[in-house]
Structures are given as structure tokens and as C-alpha cells.
Chain A
Amino acid sequence: MGANRMMQPPSAPEIAQLGQALMLGTRKRPITLPPAVSALIPATSSLSPAMLALVLAGQHARFERPAAPSLAPALESDLKLHADPRPMLSDASRRLLKQLLTLAKGDAPEAVLTACRDRATARGLRLHPFDLPVFAPYLRGGETQAASLPASSGADDVAALDAESWKAMPPQQRVDALRRFRFASPDAARALLEETFRSEAAPDRAAFLGVMAVHLTAADLPFLEAAAKDRADAARTTAQRLAGSIPGTDAYRNRLSGAAGMFITRGVTDEAKRKKHLSTGLAAMKGAVGHSAFQTLEGLRPEDLAGRLGLTLDAFVDALPIGEDILILPLLPAAVAEGNAALCAALIRRLSGLRALVVLWSHRPDGLDAPDHLRPALAEALISLAVRGQFPDAQTLHTFYRINRGPLLDALAAKLLASKIWRTHIADLTAPNADNKTPNAVKEAALLIPGGQLDAFLESIAALPPHLSLPARIFAEFCQSLGRTSPVASLTQSR
């Protein structure tokens, strides 16, 4: 009997027949156990034939193996993730990044996570592909692609920029590349944009047109006039604004007259220094009037405005009333677009404080998008402005970080950390009756600190309790881990 069981197990067709009968129902098709199955049943079994058939067929089915599918080769988009030759973050860095996300969830983690991504990119590293599904929703600028693909190599690559290579970049990198190209070669950059303009998405058209503010000349007028008839409102408005900002055109001259009319020259009141003092009476005005004043002045070259008022550029800047940001801010983008570092610094010195950046950002987020060579000078002027006032709030620091597009240079960060306002701020936060509602100011400050100053930064916040300093500390530890832990080699490196 035992030997029979081993030698004659029920065949697959027999079990399949039982299964079919069970599907139809024993009322319609009574179960007849095949002999091979009957031989398996112990004499003591109390199970009915239908139950036996169910157990046998059901258990048999559990041992079936899945049929081999026809598998497709991996898609190009799948392989791209692993084609990036840059090494990936170490496990230690990944853990810190996850801790930051855990802490920052519900508190706008985009800024700090994007900063982490950018620090890694600056060190030639990339986020680990396994982390991208988690982090990509929080990363600004190109999201997953920017996080995984090699970043644009900087100013050197724009000489070779053509329509094909430019279009292949993620959106934010395209704006940056076009701006660098425009600084280097204004006509070629315009020609590149003209070539692809009609095929671009509406939001991108407005962003690309904004780049034309750099080295704007009459040669750009035909293109801008054509773009001023664009279907998209944002693109149309940008083109019209820029067309009215081209020196030498009638529109520009008219705007210049209107703008000059805003100023009240209060004569030579300071005889000893032979300075003129300008006023507009706009200082106390806000809202719609402020916005209108901004529109009146923006895009006008400071030297043209100075000439219209019968002043040299230096005298004009000196005559601008200190703290009347509504007059000074609209002139800054033009100074940046000209790449005039001294003029930028002079204008920034006359701002009421670093908080003015937030006002500028609200009107023209790209207004201080400076080329790489100009950014340190801008940052220096802004830090000098910051350290002579109150410690900036989180929003201001965040705006500064975005304008600076990364951490400060070592010397500037050292200046900030050694400043009285930083030390006072930390002391205020550790005071027993401290206002603990603004912990983000420390976190935002951390984003501005370069690798070389992280130890000093950590030391300066050592006295802060964790609830005020933890995200900043983890961010700093993350940045330090980039240099101290071994990254994971990319497949393309290890192959």
C-alpha cells in the first residue's frame, strides 16, 4: 500500500479534473475520486470524497509555480539612474538626510533638503537612487532628474551650448545656463532662445525671457516685440517690461522722464561735502503705490537716471536717501544685469536692512540672479548690511540663501559668526525667557555656512537646546559627513 502511494501519485490531469468538478459544484458534477487518489486515503479517514478532493486539489495548487514571462530589456530611463558616474552619498550621510526629513516634515523641508542635495552636488556626489522616490517630492529645481543627473558644469560649458544640449537640461538648469550664456555672449544667447522659443512651454517662455534683462540692448528689440504678442500672459508681460527697458528707445526715454519726475532734489544742503539729497516722499508708502514705484523704476539704468537728474552716477547713489528701499531696490536688478559689482554694493549699502531682500524677491524673484563672478561681491555687501542691523529672521535668511545660491564664502561666514548680531541672537535664544518661536533662523543660518566654518558654527550653537538647534546640527553633520565618510562608488566607476 505504502509503495503504491509512492509509485502512483495522482496525475496532474486527474487533479485538474477534480478541480473542474469542484468549480462546477458537486450538485452538478458529483466527485468521483480516481483510483490513484483513493489509494492515498487512510481507512480511518472521515472526510467525504468532496472534502478530500478539495484538500488535494487546493494543496496541489499551492505548489504550482508561476509561468515564465517574457521580460523586456530595461528602459533607457531606468538605466539612466545608474549611468551617472558620480559617487553616491555614504550610508552615514543618507541616514542624516533621512533624519532631516523626519524632523522637517510639516515644516517645509524643501529648503533644507534641496540645500543638502546642492552640497552633495558641489562635492561631486549625488543622492542615492534608492532615496529618490522619498526625497524627489521635496527637492527644488529639476526634482528627480536634477538630483540624479550630473549637474551642469558651470560657466565653461556655455560656449558649447546649442539648442539640442540646452533643451536636454532640466528647466532650472536651462535658465541658469541661458543666463551664463547671455552674460558671455548676449547675441548668441538671444539667437539660441529665438530658435526654440515657440516650442517652449508657457511658464518656461516667461522665465527664459526674463534672462534677456542681462546686457539688454536695442538688438533685442525685434525679438522682444514679437514676444510681446505671446499667447501666455506671463511671457507677454515680461517681454513688454523688457522692451520698455532698452536704452535709446522712445519707450525707455518716456519711462526715464516719468521716473526722474518722482525725485525731489533738495538742493545742495550739505555744502561741506557738496552733496545733493534726493527724496521721493515714497518712504512711507507701501502696497499699490510701492508696487507702482517699483514698476516705474525697474529696468532703468542707474547712470541714465543719474544723467537725467544732472548727477554723476556716484553722486546719484550718494544722494539716494538711506533706507528708502522702494527707490533703491528697483535699481538693483539693472546693476546686477550690467555686472557692476561696485554699483551693486553701493546701492545695497543704502538699504534699510537685509529684510529688503524679501521685498525685492516678492517683486522680482530673479532680480538678483547674478553671474558666478558677481555673487561674492553681492554677498559681501549683503553681509555687511546684515551685521550692522538686527539679526535677520528666517524668511530673510532663506531669501538670502536663494539669492546667493548656496553657502557663503569662508571669510564672509566667519564674519557673520563673529558678528555681534549672531552672538546676541544665540544669547537671546538661550536666555530663560527666550522667544522660542523662531528656531528656523538657526536652521536657515546653517544653510549659509560653508564646510570650512561648520566646526565654528557648531561650536557657536553648542549652548542651544536641541529643540532650537537639532535640524541645524544635523544639517551641519550631514555636510561634514560628505567629506568624512566614503561615498558609495557609482556602477559606472566600479565596472
Chain B
Amino acid sequence: MGASLTRDRIAALAPDQSALTASIKLQKPANWPLLGRDEAEALLWGECQGSGATPYRVMADLRDLGNKCTCPSRKFPCKHVLALLWLACDQLNRFEPGEAPSWVGDWLTRRRPKKAGGESEAKPASGPGASFALAESAATPAKPTDPKAAERAETQRIRLREEREASIASGLDELDRWVLDRLEEGLANVPATAAQTCRSAAARLIDAKAPGLAGMVDELAVKLFRVPQPLRGGYAMERLSAMALLASAYRNQAALSQGLRADVRRLIGWTMRREELLEDASALRVKARWLVVSARSEVQPDRIRRLETWLLRLGERDGAAPDFALLLDFVPLAGGASTPPFYAGETFEAELAFYPSAVPLRALIVQRGAGDSTTAWAAPQGIATALDGWDRALAHQPWLENWPLLIGGVRIARGEGNALWLADDAGGALPLDMAKSETIAPLIGLLGITAAGLWDGRCLSLLAADTPIGGWYGG
């Protein structure tokens, strides 16, 4: 049952070090008057004696590591859940096999909706998006079964959609005017005024119900200051160009391919629910062995934590399926998981469903199999080949901010000012993100590296590398 439950996975789940340490101290038998498991349903449960009179009820679904505890902690998962998982990992014999108590069943019913026959339907494992996506689906009101109510709801939905479309159209017109104002003043002046003008333009786009585009505008001021001063005007040109092109593409979306239209609508701010993707028969699905090349988290300006897991498809690169997949989740900053429930270097079989896109990348795990040992990565050789891939992706989807590259036959070298570069024997070189220079340094001197990294057109953020002395994972 707990075959995939490892110490590494539990450590990766912990929201912080103190929760992990506290969970280890919670494992003494006296704390757990009840421990149970259901092999068939892959369930664990237990009662943990806290400071109060009533023990906390702790439960976990091993299919996707979904979990719940009745304690008031704002950490997720709390120390009680972590302790339950530790115990299952190290002392499974302490869990009494049997049927889950009703409180576990209640929880399970909420997270695994019943099939028509009354049987609990297992939700597909969802990777890092599990907790958030499930919360989202739980928050969605149940569809009314009354045909008249359903008709009223559909009419309401269509009306809201039309109102939003009209609002977005007006917001795009305002954006055009704002961009033209910037062009009149000159792009060289944009960095100096961006902090003020971007904020107000973003606010208007929020009002226009185009949150994706609003985020793009709002981020510009911050991103400009991450670019070296002499390059800021050029960067402003690229970003404003992307915004103007996006506005134009949205107005002409009927002429776009299905994938590109999905990209454009997503970038404007429309979302696709997890369930919709899973029900979409036309969605690209890829069954393969995947290697976790990076599992990282980042706090967004809106105080939401963005959890990213980058997967590399192992095996032959035939061009028929994406080389990379991105599992993306958003959790609240307070109390949400702090890291994706994966660790870099982990390998597993899985079927992924990709969100529709001109260049499919973001995905969900539909079905996950067992892990196995990593093999060498097959990769196209040289930087020029990898950049050709970037060019192709950009040509298909011009709003890409970064794109995963897989580059074989490279090395890390020092350039002017001790800057680090990814270089190949043909004279190609890509500047590396210096924020990671300390961890990248041990790669210097190794030849024949295969590197996986995120390229934004200026700088490569190295995620992982396959080297003659083993795998390197940098975040």
C-alpha cells in the first residue's frame, strides 16, 4: 500500500522544518490510540492525542497523498498528518487492517465522488495540484438536477460570460490606448514611469475581468528592474509588444487554431477547470516515464504560492510528444503546502493530460505508476539545436516567457566577470542564471553534460543536469 511512500516524499510534503521535526516527536505509541489502514482503498487513518480531551482525527489517501486532520493548525499538511505518514513508512505493522471508520468514509466521499452505483470513484492522482484542485471542485456548487433550474443556471452562465467578454473588450481598448501613450513618450522612458503607470493600467484590466493580462502589465515594473539597465528599453519593447499582440489575438481568436486560442484565452484570464481537462476527449494524453527535474515554489505578488514541478519525458525524442511537462498548483500562502509533493530526481511512469495549447506544456497527472531507477537522458546535441526548438515554440506561441530546453553535449564554463555559461563544442553559449552560481560551480570541469533548463531568451535557469558523475538538481 505504501509502496510509493518514502521518507523523501514525506519530507517534501512538509510545509516547513519545524512541522517535520514536530511530526517525528509525535510518533510515540501513546500519542496514537488508534491507527488503521485499508489496503484496498489505499487509506490510512489514526487518532492522535493532542493537548485537548478529544484526539485529532487524521486521515490520508495514499493514491495521491491527499490528507486531512481535524486539528486547528494552519499548516498544511499539519504535523499530525506527517506523523501518520512517517508511521506508515516506518512502522506499517502498527496500523490495524480493516474497514475505514465513518469519519474517514465521509471525507473520502467528499474527495472521491460516488459513481452512479454508489461505489466511491477514485479521483485520478493529480500531482501537486491535488489539494487545490480538489478544494476547488468541492467549492463548486453541485449541479441542480431540476431541468428548469439547470436551464436558469445555464442562461445565467451565458449572460455572465457575455458580460465578461464585453468587459474584456473594453479593457483591451483601454490597454491599446495605454500602450500607444507609452509609444508616444518613447519606450526608453518606460522604465522610469513603469511603477506608477503599470499599476493603474493593471487595476483597470482587473476591473475589466482580464486578470491574466492585468498580471502581465503589473509584473512589468518589477521585471524591468531585474534586467540590466542598458537592456530595459528593449525589454519594455518585448513585453509591450506581447501585450499588444495578445489584445489583437483575443479580438481575432476565431481565426486562431484551437490550441493557440486556448493559450490566448488563458493568458487573458479565463481558466480551465481540472475536471474539464480530464473530461476533454481531445486533450493530448501522454503515457511515459517521467523524471522530476525540478520541484520548486515561488510566492506571487498576489500572496499565492505557485508550486511548479517540471517533468522530463525519458526515452526516445520522436517529436510526437512534448519533452517536458509542467505540473502547476496554486495554494494560499498561509497554511498551504510550501513545496510540491515531488522531489527532484524522482522517476515514475505516468499518464499526463496536457492543457490545450499551441505548445503543450502544462499538464495534470491522470494515472501514476511505480517509480524506477533513472536512466541516462536522451537529448539532442548542441545549443543551436536547442535554440531552434525555442524558435519553433516561440513561433507557435509568441507569449512564452520561458521554455524548457534539453541540451546534450555541453559543459559549464566561466566567462567575463566570472559569469557562468553553458557552452558546446560548436561555439554556442548561453548565459546562466547567476543566482545559482554556487550550486552550479561543481559542474565546471565536467564534459558531456546534458542540461535541462528554462530559457527566457536572455538567460538559462539551469534546472537539472545529467553528468558523467550522476544527476545534478539545482531547483
Q: Is A175 an interface residue (CB 8 A)?
A: no
Q: Which residues of A contact B387 (CB under 8 A)?
A: 65
Q: Report yes or no: A59 in contact with B429, Cβ–Cβ below 8 A.
A: no
Q: Does B45 make an interface contact (CB < 8 A)?
A: no
Tell whether B184 is near chain A: CB-to-CB under 8 Å: yes
Query: Can you list, as one digit per residue, whether each of A52-78 has a CB less than 8 Å from chain B (1) or not (0)?
Result: 001111110111111011111011001
List 9 interface pairs A-B (beta carbons < 8 Å), by A numbering.
A25-B183, A26-B183, A47-B248, A50-B180, A51-B248, A54-B241, A75-B414, A105-B17, A474-B7
Q: Are A465 and B429 in contact (CB under 8 A)?
A: no
What 0/1 readout, one digit per residue, does chain A (1-31) give for beta carbons within 8 Å of chain B?
0000000000000000001001111111000
Determine how close the nearest CB of chain B comes to the CB of A256; give it in whole angstroms.
53
Task: Judge if B40 is at the interface, Cβ distance under 8 Å.
Answer: no
Q: Can you name the residue of chain A whose Cβ is closest to the Cβ of B394?
A: A62
Count the A residues whose beta carbon is within 8 Å of the partner chain — how many? Answer: 63
Q: Which of B24, B183, B413, B438 contacts A74 (CB 8 A)?
A: B413
Q: Which of B8, B87, B184, B237 contacts A58 (CB 8 A)?
A: B237
| Top 3 A-B residue pairs of the complex, sorted by shortest distance between their CB atoms | A58-B241, A25-B186, A129-B442
Query: Of B180, B237, B428, B430, which is in contact with the most chain A CB atoms at under 10 Å from its CB?
Result: B237
A266→B176 CA distance, assembly (Å): 104
Q: Is B416 an interface position by the 8 A CB rule?
A: yes
Whether A54 lies near B244 (C-beta < 8 A) is: yes
Within the complex, what minimum Cβ distance (angstroms) separates A197 from chain B?
34
B76 close to chain A: CB less than 8 A:
no
B187 within 8 A of A: yes
| Contact A81:B431 (CB < 8 A) given known A24-B186, A63-B394, A65-B387 | no
Q: Does B20 contact A (CB under 8 A)?
A: yes
Given the known A-B contacts A129-B469, A130-B470, are A57 and B237 also in contact in the complex, defined by CB atoms under 8 Å?
Answer: yes
Interface of A is mostly: helix
Determine which of A19, A51, A102, A468 lies in contact with B176 in the assembled complex, contact meaning CB atoms within 8 Å. A51
Contact, CB under 8 Å: A72 / B413: yes
Chain B residues near A490 (CB, 8 Å)?
Answer: 469
Chain A 113-132 per-residue mask, 1 if CB under 8 angstroms from chain B, else 0:
00000000000000011101
For residue A432, which residues in chain B have a CB less than 8 angstroms away from its CB?
A: 30
Inter-chain contact B180/A133, CB cutoff 8 Å: no
Q: A106 vs B415: C-alpha distance in the bound complex, in angstroms?
A: 38
Q: Does A288 contact B (CB under 8 A)?
A: no
Q: In the complex where A106-B18, A465-B27 touch, is A488 in contact with B428 (Cβ < 8 A)?
A: no
Q: Which of B17, B24, B237, B238 contacts A466 (CB 8 A)?
A: B24
The answer, among B86, B91, B429, B438, for a CB contact under 8 Å with A68, is B429
Does chain A have a CB within 8 A of B423?
yes
Contacts of B472 in A (CB 8 A): 130
Contact residue among A62, A75, A102, A132 (Cβ-Cβ distance under 8 Å from B238): A62
Q: State the A residues within 8 Å of B (CB).
A: 19, 22-28, 47-48, 50-51, 54-59, 61-66, 68-72, 74-75, 78-79, 81-82, 88, 91, 95, 98-99, 102-103, 105-107, 128-130, 132-133, 432, 436, 465-468, 470, 474, 488-491, 494
* Contacts A54-B179, A66-B431, A78-B441; A491 near B186 (Cβ below 8 A): no
Pairwise interchain contact B27-A74, C-beta atoms closer than 8 A: no
Q: Taking the complex as formed, is B257 at the interface, i.e. its CB lies under 8 A from any CB of chain A?
A: no
Contact in complex: B91, A466 (CB < 8 Å): yes
0/1 interface trace, chain B 441-470, chain A, CB 8 Å (1 if under): 111111000000000011000000000111
Partner of B8, one of A47, A72, A99: A99
Q: Is B28 an interface residue (CB 8 A)?
A: yes
List residues of B whose CB falls within 8 A of some A CB. 7-8, 11, 17-18, 20-21, 24-30, 86-87, 90-91, 176, 179-180, 183-189, 233-234, 237-242, 244-245, 248, 387, 391, 394, 398, 413-416, 419, 421, 423, 427-431, 438-439, 441-446, 457-458, 468-472
- Name B27's contact: one of A62, A106, A129, A467 (CB within 8 Å): A467
Instruction: Name the B residues within 8 Å of A474 (CB-CB).
Output: 7
**Do residues B446 and A50 form an inter-chain contact, with CB atoms below 8 A?**
no
Contacts of B429 in A (CB 8 A): 66, 68-69, 71
Whether A26 touches B184, Cβ cut-off 8 Å, given contacts A133-B441, A466-B24, is yes
The answer to whether A79 touches B469 (Cβ under 8 A) is: no
Give the contacting residue for B445; candidates A64, A82, A465, A467; CB below 8 A: A82
Distance of B254 from chain A, by nearest CB (Å):
13
Query: By the criterion CB–CB under 8 Å, are B242 and A25 in contact?
Result: no
Q: Beyond A66-B458, A71-B421, A82-B446, is A54–B24 a contact (Cβ under 8 Å)? A: no
- The answer to whether B179 touches A66, judged by C-beta atoms less than 8 angstroms apart, is no
Residues of B within 8 A of A78 (CB): 414, 441, 444-445
Q: Which residues of B contact A128 (CB under 8 A)?
A: 469-470
A26: B residues at CB distance < 8 A = 183-184, 186
CA distance A132 to B242 in the complex (A): 42
Q: A23-B186, A491-B446 are in contact. Are A71 and B423 (CB under 8 A)?
A: yes
Could you say which residues of chain A place their CB within 8 Å of the CB of B413?
71-72, 74
* Residues of B with C-beta under 8 A to A91: 470-471
Query: Which among B91, B186, B416 has the highest number of chain A CB atoms within 10 Å?
Result: B186
Q: In the complex, what distance in Å separates the CA atom of A74 from the CA atom of B179?
A: 46
* Closest Cβ neighbor of A82 among chain B residues: B445
Q: Are B398 and A62 neighbours in the complex by a CB distance under 8 Å?
A: yes
